Amino acid sequence: MTSTPASGKDHADRPPGRPRDPIRRLLQHRLYNEWFWAYLFLLPCLAIFVVFLVYPAMQSVVYSFEAFNPLQGERRFIGLDNYATLFRDPVWWTAILNTLIFTLATVPFSIAVSLGIATLLMPLHSRLQTLFKTVFYMPGVTSAVVIGMVWLWIFYPFSEGLANYVVESLGGERINWLGRSATAMPSIILMTWLTGLGAAIVLYMAALGNIPASMYEAADIDCAGSWTRFRKITWPLIKPTTLYAAIIGTAGSFLVFDIVYSMTKGGPGTATTTIVYRLYDIAFGRFEFGLASASAVLLAFLVVGFSVLQLRFFSTDVEY
Amino acid sequence: MSSTSLAPGRVAGSGPDPVGTTSTAARVVRGVVKVLSYTVLVLFAIATLIPFIWMISTAFKPNELSMEMPPVFIPPEPTLKNFEVFFKQMNAWRWIFNSVVTVSIITLGHVILYTTAGYALAKLSFPGRRLVFGMVIIALTIPLYVIVVPLYQMMFQFGWMNTYAALIIPALVGPANLFLMKQFMQTLPSSLIDSARVDACPEWRIFLRVVLPIAKPGIAVLAIFTFMGYWNGFFWPLIVTQTSEMRTLTVGLTSVRYGSFDYGSLMAGSLIAAAPMFLVFLIFQRYFLKGLTVGAVKG
């Protein structure tokens, strides 16, 4: 703004800070300038949000009240029928149940084990810590599709798979891991246990490193045992991290899709059909957009509801 | 803010043990605990690494060996044949090209959009700032899956189906990145910005000359995580691509899986999909580990 040539005669010796043109004067005023740039900086990003996030989110709600099948060119208002259909659909309930099982089997495990591993890592030399962190976080930078691909070999139904090799060398009978309803979901859970901990371990190590040593010194003076130290010092102080890991983990588990798609396609039968997989199937397998949107709306409520519940549960005695 | 940064050197959990250091029994117990904890850590590390080691070794070994048990981890005669097959049979080059181009543009877009917007939210005062930030928080909670049907329909109406536009433009939405950048920009010293203002430096130049240089670490975290997220991304490209030519690498890989069960070339493809991320991770590890904790910062 300062270098713009002013119009006409006043450009050489105008009084300082007093341009003639009222609009330019407005713009040159520091505060207005700040507003102007703030809006300019935010505009592209907000425009994209509105078009590709807010508008589709509202559309989702609208669609959920419609019979909308783009393949048949059908689109009409049917009120709550889609929701009623979902509530009567046994597969939808199976999908919710499967998602809940997956979430309950993976999130608490991940929190407990990553806290345990982080605790074991803390006394190590920092080089070793970094080495272990790198190893544990490796699956975190790898596409779920690639991980699924490799684990298909581990869960190969015959003796050539690693999991069956281990089972058979321990004297057990080989298992059709992903091919049977009873074992498919547990197999996916097992795989998640062994590939999904990296981020939580890193988070917990940061949190544990932040606990002031003086706290433990005080506990030592009082001769507090390790369990008491953990209960009274560590656990309360790392609670925000636990809360964060629980919320992020739950949201992620509720939305599990990539791994299901690349490993089992929801099968066998509906044994690994999760909410998002069901949504995908309704939307892009059968092109029932109305019904799919109704499940999307319910999914949104579930995700938000669970986060709020956890916030309540964990934040009862946390000081922020 | 700085209190949550990783400080591997200072270890609090291993506080001194003033009472039991002298007795031998205590020393034995501590030795046993140490051995046990190393065992657990090493076992868990092996369990994490074996799938990757198998992937790499299978990519380089002849197919006859790929299903050998116990697994052959170091092939006696490494071969590149699997890569040849992968590149010959499929549209592999095109998938790699698609992934590189779309993900690079998306990352660049995120960096531009969210450094500017994050800076505005964190450091500029303007009416409606709280409102905008509140909207961002709400937007954060909306998962892609919830809006995917209308978004798909929109791509259809725009005529973007099966084009780069569909792969790139909706992917520019990233409320999480805006949140991350806002949090990061808040940690930058306001005094620098204010002194530039006193010197009558225009706002855009303050942003380019003062803010951007000191925001580099934050931008690096943003760029790395965005690149990784979309490189590994699967659901959206799966839906909006219809022909093999438009697929990204991850979507292409899953489409192969049902065609053949030739593990060698599948693992070669998987390795190609995973290797760039391994490299980026190993090079920029510091940023990765730092970036993970940014979101967890309270306040």
A132 and A182 co-located in one domain: yes
A111 and A226 co-located in one domain: yes
Give Dmax over CA atoms of chain B in angstroms. 78
The overall average pLDDT reported for chain B is 83
Structure confidence at residue A24 (pLDDT): 64
Inter-chain touch B13–A123, beta carbons under 8 Å = yes
Structure confidence at residue A1 (pLDDT): 41
Regions in chain A scoring below 50 on pLDDT: 1-14, 317-320
Beta bridge partners of A74: A69
A101 and A42 co-located in one domain: no
A31 and A178 co-located in one domain: no
Structure confidence at residue A62 (pLDDT): 93
Kindly state whether residue A111 falls inside one of the protein's structural domains.
yes
Residue type, B80: L
Kindly state whether residue A198 falls inside one of the protein's structural domains.
yes
State how many domains chain A has: 2
**Two structure tokens written together for B234:** 């699967």
Structure confidence at residue B14 (pLDDT): 44
pLDDT confidence band for B12 (50 / 70 / 90)? very low
A27 and A94 co-located in one domain: no
Q: What is the CATH number of the domain that holds A129?
A: 1.10.3720.10
Which of the residues A146, A150, A155, A281 would you substitute to probe the B interface, choosing the one with the greatest number of B C-beta atoms within 10 Å?
A146
pLDDT confidence band for B135 (50 / 70 / 90)? confident
A26 and A127 co-located in one domain: no
DSSP state of A15: P
| Residues of chain A positioned with their CB less than 8 A from the CB of B238 | 261
pLDDT confidence band for B150 (50 / 70 / 90)? very high
Kindly state whether residue A55 falls inside one of the protein's structural domains.
no
Q: What is the ipTM of this complex?
A: 0.82
A154 and A279 co-located in one domain: yes
Across the interface, of B52, B70, B232, the residue whose CB is closest to A138 is B52
Structure confidence at residue A23 (pLDDT): 65
Inter-chain touch A135–B202, beta carbons under 8 Å = no
| B176 to chain A, closest Cα gap in Å | 12
Q: Which residue of B has its CA nearest to A294?
A: B146
A138 and A16 co-located in one domain: no
pTM to 2 decimals?
A: 0.84
| Residues of chain B positioned with their CB less than 8 A from the CB of A34 | 124-126, 203
Helix (H, G, I), strand (E, B) or coil at A29: coil
Across the interface, of A162, A205, A303, the residue whose CB is closest to B71 is A162
Residue B62: exposure state from Cβ atoms within 10 A (0-12, 13-18, ≥19):
middle
Instruction: Tell me how crowded residue B15 is: count the other CB atoms within 10 A of its CB.
Output: 18
**Two structure tokens written together for B224:** 């790395």
With beta carbons less than 8 A apart as the criterion, state whether B237 and B164 touch: no
Q: How far apart are CA B191 and CA A297, in angstroms?
A: 46
Structure confidence at residue A210 (pLDDT): 84
Inter-chain touch A199–B292, beta carbons under 8 Å = yes
Kindly state whether residue A179 falls inside one of the protein's structural domains.
yes
Q: How far apart are CA B225 and CA B114, in angstroms?
A: 13
Kindly state whether residue A296 falls inside one of the protein's structural domains.
yes
| Residues of chain A positioned with their CB less than 8 A from the CB of B274 | 142-143, 146
Output the CA torsion B150→B151→B152→B158 (10° steps).
110
Looking from the CA of B3 toward its CB, the CA atoms found within 13 Å total 9
Which of the residues B145, B173, B241, B265 would you substitute to probe the A interface, choosing the one with the greatest number of A C-beta atoms within 10 Å?
B145
Selection from B236, B224, B255 nearest residue B167 by Cα:
B236
Inter-chain touch A199–B127, beta carbons under 8 Å = no
Output the CA torsion A82→A83→A89→A91 (10° steps).
100
A43 and A189 co-located in one domain: no
Which of the residues A136, A143, A281 would you substitute to probe the B interface, choosing the one with the greatest number of B C-beta atoms within 10 Å?
A143
Structure confidence at residue B288 (pLDDT): 77
Kindly state whether residue A62 falls inside one of the protein's structural domains.
no
Inter-chain touch B70–A165, beta carbons under 8 Å = yes
Q: Domain span at residue A30?
A: 1-50
Q: How far apart are CA A65 and CA A167, in angstroms?
A: 50
pLDDT confidence band for B79 (50 / 70 / 90)? confident
pLDDT per residue as tens digits for the range B33-67 = 889 989 999 999 999 999 999 899 888 988 777 77
pLDDT per residue as tens digits for the range B179-227 = 889 888 888 888 888 888 888 778 888 888 888 888 888 898 899 889 9
Given 2.40.128.110, 1.10.3720.10, 3.20.20.70, 3.40.190.10, which CATH number is that of B85-294? 1.10.3720.10
Residue A196: exposure state from Cβ atoms within 10 A (0-12, 13-18, ≥19):
buried
Structure confidence at residue A8 (pLDDT): 41
**Two structure tokens written together for B219:** 């931008």
Kindly state whether residue A6 falls inside one of the protein's structural domains.
yes
DSSP state of B62: -
Structure confidence at residue B195 (pLDDT): 85
| A211 to chain B, closest Cα gap in Å | 6
Q: In this model, does residue B117 exceed pLDDT 90?
A: yes
